[in-house]
Amino acid sequence: MLKKPTKHMHLEREKENNSDELLFLMRKKNRNTPIYIAIVLVIIVSAIAMAGVYLEYW
């Protein structure tokens, strides 16, 4: 069943376009998240290793 065109039809389309742009930005942000997590893990592991060397555990 088709909707009748109304005065506010362009507002609905505008909202849909904004939500599509928001989803695109969220996907782009989510694509970089694993990279940031990997970098943080490398930093943490290297800090633990350096602390072990400094305190002569290794």
- Tens digit of pLDDT for each residue in 1-58? 555 656 555 545 555 556 677 666 666 667 788 999 999 999 999 999 999 999 997 7
Domain that holds residue 43: 32-58
Q: Running DSSP on this structure, what letter comes out for residue 5?
A: P
Q: With contact defined as beta carbons under 8 Å apart, do 38 and 32 qualify?
A: no
Closest CA to 49 of 37, 58, 38: 58
The number of domains in the chain is 1
Q: What is the DSSP letter of 7?
A: T
CA–chain centroid gap for 16, Å, is 21
Within-domain flag for 7: no
Do residues 58 and 52 touch, judged by C-beta distance below 8 A?
yes
DSSP run (H or E) holding 13:
helix 9-54
Single pTM value for the model: 0.51
